[in-house]
Structure 1
Amino acid sequence: MPWKNKDLLGALALLAALIATASAEYQLARAVGFGEFTAGCIPAALDVYALRAFSVKRDVPAVVAALIATNALAHLVSSGLLPVGVPLVIAVSAIAPLVLWRVKALGGPLTPRQPAPVAVEPERAAHPTERRTELPALEPEVNADPLIAAARQMQRDAGKLPTLRALQSELRIGQSRAQRIRAALAP
């Protein structure tokens, strides 16, 4: 996308905010025992998580709360109002694994949830003495969503049409996609 189409002031504000929070996050990681270089992974992980959450418009309140909490803790430690102890070390050490989990979840449905491709047997010629009966042709689903098979399985398991919320949660999709899939399942 060309620069003229981007919000330059918004980008500058975002960059300044990320730098400001990164500094405090780095100091907090150093205070709890992270090495000089690995301490930089804490702000990097949080900032990448924030950018990913903003881009997919999910997890935004969670990432903002994490940024606020991490920065507040950093300033409490640096001002001497909060001593470094076991709970704080555990909390800061949990940041990277939690970010890993959330960024992966924001990336879309996991591969195992996607339906396996259907093997199609090649058509064989009927033997001259063999009577061949034609099966009625099934209309192919135009632009069928690859998650419809998983949604149908959900429907079979529950014994009823899954709710939008269930589809969104189980298939890790947005509301509009869940609505299209639910419409395809409806009788």
Structure 2
Amino acid sequence: MRGFFGFLFMNVIMWVIFCIIAVRDLREHRIPNKLLLTALIIKSVFFILADVNLDVLLDSIYSAVILFCLGLFFFFLRAMSPGDVKLLGTIGYITGITQFGSLLFYLTMGGGLVAIFCLFDAISQGYRPKSLKQKTNELALSRELGKIPHSRYEQKLVMPFAPSVVIGLALFYYFN
């Protein structure tokens, strides 16, 4: 029973950490490194206390590296922020690689749900997406005038990523 309660306690702590991360991302548009590091340390301590074999640890590390690199790819495309990339790496380490395709599917579903609600919220507040022609004309005009965009997210609809990851993670654990 001691192993079961330790496992249950570790999961409760992880969910509390992820909920705090999601709320902080919603409120401040930042994902605290301290909370990500805390989640990594707790999972590592769990690996040590549960006396898992090296293969399970390596699977978690592989998953972390793959998700981090995937997030880094989207960061270079300017679709993600650095905190989002670190969050994906942390999620990879915590979940492992055993059902990696399923994890990606549910993370995408969670992201899609949150994106739809963010779009509806923005439209209700007067946001009107620009057409491709409008964007092209503005880009051409800014190049003619020699202007450089001031913000990474200028003229873009942005959404917090951590809540969608937490929702996707909840879907992953519920349906698997």
For the criterion TM > 0.5, the same-fold answer is no
TM-score (norm. length: structure 2): 0.29
Structure number with larger C-alpha Rg: 1
State the structure with bigger RCO (CA 8 A, min sep 6), 1 or 2.
Answer: 2
Normalization by structure 1: what TM-score? Answer: 0.28
